[in-house]
């Protein structure tokens, strides 16, 4: 059985997912995904996470397209990794972990990647905005304004990520 976890940022899902994996005796797959993807793409895990966490602007997407057609631009650019390479690497890593069975896989579109199947339980965690703000303030040790800003930024980035890659 595979459990995929999708969540609103600040909903407390990660702690619940980790405890659930432990209670079930399942592998907990979260932070190791960017590391696996980074190794496959020969970039840093931070570059993978930054690409996943940031909503790409039209200009960045256009530059990426130009880089594919013009190798000289790609050599001088700091835009990494390419969207389609990152997508394939993430999908391959999620499928690889899922093929082992008995895993709780957090985010990165894992629910969409694995598609319909009787051996996949899809769970989405959400919470009221005020609770999420308070949770982010408490866990990150930041002020309310920063928590609100981060919540909005992450929500936009996740929405853009899912819409761009999975419709």
pLDDT higher than 60, residue 55: no
Burial 77-100 (b: 16+ CB within 10 A, else e): eebbbbbeebbebbbebbeebbee
Domain boundaries, the chain: 2-166
Q: What is the pLDDT of residue 11?
A: 92
Cα separation of 34 and 44, whole Å? 9
- What are the pLDDT digits (tens) for 136-158? 999 889 999 999 999 999 888 88
Residue 95 backbone class (left: φ over 0; alpha: ψ -120 to 50; beta: rest): alpha
Angle at 111 between CA 110 and CA 116, to 5 degrees: 130
Please say whether the structural domain 2-166 has been given the CATH code 3.40.50.970.
no
CB 122 within 8 A of CB 111: yes
pTM of the model: 0.74
Q: What is the pLDDT of residue 74?
A: 46
């Amino acid at each position: 059985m595979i459990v995929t976890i999708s969540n609103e940022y600040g909903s407390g899902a990660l702690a619940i997912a980790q405890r659930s994996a432990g209670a079930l005796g399942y592998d907990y797959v979260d932070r190791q995904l960017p590391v696996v993807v980074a190794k496959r793409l020969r970039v840093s895990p931070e570059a993978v996470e930054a690409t996943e966490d940031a909503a790409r602007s039209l200009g960045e997407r256009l530059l990426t397209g130009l880089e594919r057609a013009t190798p000289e631009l790609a050599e001088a650019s700091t835009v990494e990794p390419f969207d389609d390479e990152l997508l394939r690497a993430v999908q391959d890593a999620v499928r690889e972990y899922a093929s082992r069975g008995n895993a709780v896989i957090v985010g990165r579109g894992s629910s969409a990647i694995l598609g319909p199947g009787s051996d996949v339980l899809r769970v989405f965690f959400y919470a009221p905005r005020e609770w999420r703000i308070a949770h982010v303030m408490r866990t990150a040790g930041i002020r309310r304004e920063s928590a609100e800003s981060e919540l909005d930024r992450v929500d936009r980035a996740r929405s853009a990520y899912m819409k761009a890659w999975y419709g």
